[in-house]
Structure 1
Amino acid sequence: MKNMICPLANVEEVFVSDDAAVYQCSRQNCYWLEFQGATTAFNVRDFFAFKKKIDSIDLEAMLTDSSRNGDFEIIMPFRTERCFILSIEEILQLREVLSGAKFMIELNGVIHSCLHSRSLLTF
């Protein structure tokens, strides 16, 4: 992780793409997004709200908007100091890493559930 927020954090890689990465910190119970050379911390609920916001951006409207402000989307995630000024390409990059991270988080939950169920059956 290039820009570590807290040196005492217990960080695990959730998902990494060519352009971004998501890490989980079990000590702080948060996710860290590394994107555009900066790291942004999200609590669990805010991380999924941010993903939902990114997924809801209307790329078709951006592509057909001929005004100067149609080229970028400005996103200010809740409870962060970060402001994202995103081009269409950057929105696609974020969608990739956030979708990959969500999938891995859900997969991890299913695996833990299966292992827990299996351990209950062996007693």
Structure 2
Amino acid sequence: MVCPLANFEEVYRTDHGAVYQCSRQNCYWLEFAGDTTAFRVSDFFSFKKKIDAIDVSAMIIDPSRTADFTILMPFRTPRCFVLDINDVLNLRELLNGAKFMIELNSVINACLKTTPSRVAKL
């Protein structure tokens, strides 16, 4: 499943999973609930939006048995996620942390690219 030439770097990890970045394949890998799923960059952020859009309070309040779970099949992946309330919250925490680290890395790289020009002028 994983390309032997892949170059993985851990982006973020919790007790429930991890997100890795592969620079060679230009994708993110989500490790969650004992399985690993590859996402293109845009699909990863689209999946995060779908997870964020799940109304957990409605799941809790609704007395029907079907409200205890939500089913998601991310775009361009063979995986189907069947998530209960705890899974939604754990996955949301993991994806929020990964997004924060990705954005932080971009800010740091932007700062490092501008810093040498200032040093050269001094």
* Gap runs ≥5 in structure 1: none
Query: Once the 2 structures are TM-superposed, how far is the Cα of residue 120 of structure 1 from its aligned partner?
Result: 2.3
Q: Give CA deviations for 1:20-69 in whole Å, capped at 9, x if unaligned.
A: 10000000000000011110000100000000100010001100111111
Rg larger for: 2
Query: Once the 2 structures are TM-superposed, how far is the Cα of residue 121 of structure 1 from its aligned partner?
Result: 2.2
Q: Which residue of 1 aligns with 2:118?
A: 121
1:62 to 59, 63, 67: 59
Residue-pair matches, total: 120
Query: Once the 2 structures are TM-superposed, how far is the Cα of residue 5 of structure 1 from its aligned partner?
Result: 1.8
Give aligned-pair identity as a percent: 65
Q: Following the alignment from structure 1 to structure 2, what is the Cα–Cα distance between the partners of residues 27 and 111?
A: 21
Query: Once the 2 structures are TM-superposed, how far is the Cα of residue 6 of structure 1 from its aligned partner?
Result: 1.9
1:51 paired to 2:48: yes
RMSD (Å) for aligned C-alpha atoms: 0.9
The answer to whether the 8 A contact 1:22-1:101 is kept is yes
TM-score normalised over the length of structure 2 = 0.95
The answer to whether the 8 A contact 1:24-1:31 is kept is yes
1:27 paired to 2:24: yes
Q: Which residue of 1 aligns with 2:108?
A: 111
Letter matched to residue 74 of structure 1: I
The answer to whether the 8 A contact 1:20-1:33 is kept is yes
1:37 paired to 2:48: no
Task: Name the SS for the 2:44 alignment partner.
Answer: helix
1:79 paired to 2:76: yes
* Gap runs ≥5 in structure 2: none
Query: Once the 2 structures are TM-superposed, how far is the Cα of residue 7 of structure 1 from its aligned partner?
Result: 2.1
Letter matched to residue 47 of structure 1: F
Q: Following the alignment from structure 1 to structure 2, what is the Cα–Cα distance between the partners of residues 5 and 100?
A: 24
TM-score normalised over the length of structure 1 = 0.94
Q: Following the alignment from structure 1 to structure 2, what is the Cα–Cα distance between the partners of residues 45 and 122?
A: 36
